[in-house]
Amino acid sequence: MVEIALQYTNRMPNKRKKLAVLVSGTGTLLESFLNEGLQVDLVLADRPCRGIDEVAQKGNVPTELVLRTDFSKNFDREAYTHLVLAALKKYEIDVIAMAGFNTVLAPSLFEVYGGKILNTHPALLPSFKGHYGVRDALAYGVKVTGCTVHIATPEVDEGKILAQKAVEIFPNDTESSLHERIKEVERSLYLETIRAFIADQINF
């Protein structure tokens, strides 16, 4: 199994950084973070979903639903992003971890939080970018895929790679069986990366 280890520095953190986790779905990554004791200061969602309705509530984490009502091509991404920014500001958020958040946010988010937004993608970037990373890897017939934790940029699934871990594809895998195995790996890799990142311990 291939793994790119995180590089730690000896820098001491200044003040505790406040973390927001952005979700749109089942929120199993968020759930594992909370179970492992990660302090999350805000869970923000773009739609009602298990991540905000059940997981965040159960973990007693403050929530903000910034409801996206328009999924058409006329979606006002900029206006929506401003609402997200206002919510993040209200909670004085320093670092953002996207964990299955399904709205692409406008560049204005990155003007404020550039370099402080983390994302995890269920494939080995730069291969299989986009919403169907698991499905596309399976369809291509690769034998190994995995997950990638990276700094998010306005370009989807671009940005400095912080950590990767490989997952073998089995001949009888379906999209969901494979995605579940990837998520098992993501849960620990993403948590480890977030912890190191908010403690200023990643050298990049």
By CB under 6 A, how many residues form the interface with ligand GRF? 14
Stretch that binds ligand GRF, among 19-27, 109-117, 138-146, 164-172 (CB under 6 A): 19-27
Strand order in the sheet with 19-23: 3-4, 161-168, 144-151, 117-121, 95-98, 19-23, 42-45, 63-65
What is the nearest approach in angstroms of ligand GRF to the Cβ of residue 76?
Answer: 23
3-state SS assignment for residue 105: coil
Contact mark string toward ligand GRF, 40..79, x via CB under 6 A: -----------x----------------------------
Euclidean distance between CA atoms 123 and 135, whole angstroms: 10
- The answer to the question of residue 127 lying near ligand GRF (CB under 6 A) is no
Q: Which of 82, 121, 131, 179 is catalytic?
A: 121
**Nearest residue (CB) to ligand GRF, 120 versus 145:** 120
Show the CA angle centred on residue 178, arms to residues 68 and 53, nearest 5°.
Answer: 30
Strand, coil or helix: 66: coil
Q: How far is the CB of 104 from ligand GRF (least distance, A)?
A: 12
Q: Find, among 38, 22, 34, 3, the residue nearest to 194 by Cα.
A: 38
150 is catalytic: no
Q: Cα–Cα distance between 84 and 77 in angstroms, integer?
A: 10
Residues 19, 40: contact at Cβ < 8 Å?
yes
Nearer to ligand GRF, 47 or 121 (CB): 121
Q: Which of 4, 26, 62, 108 binds ligand GRF (CB under 6 A)?
A: 26
Number of H helices, E strands in the chain: 7, 8
Shortest reach from residue 132's CB to ligand GRF, in Å: 11
Q: Does 28 bind ligand GRF (CB under 6 A)?
A: yes
Contacting positions for ligand GRF (CB under 6 A)? 25-30, 51, 99-100, 120-122, 183, 186
Catalytic residues: 121
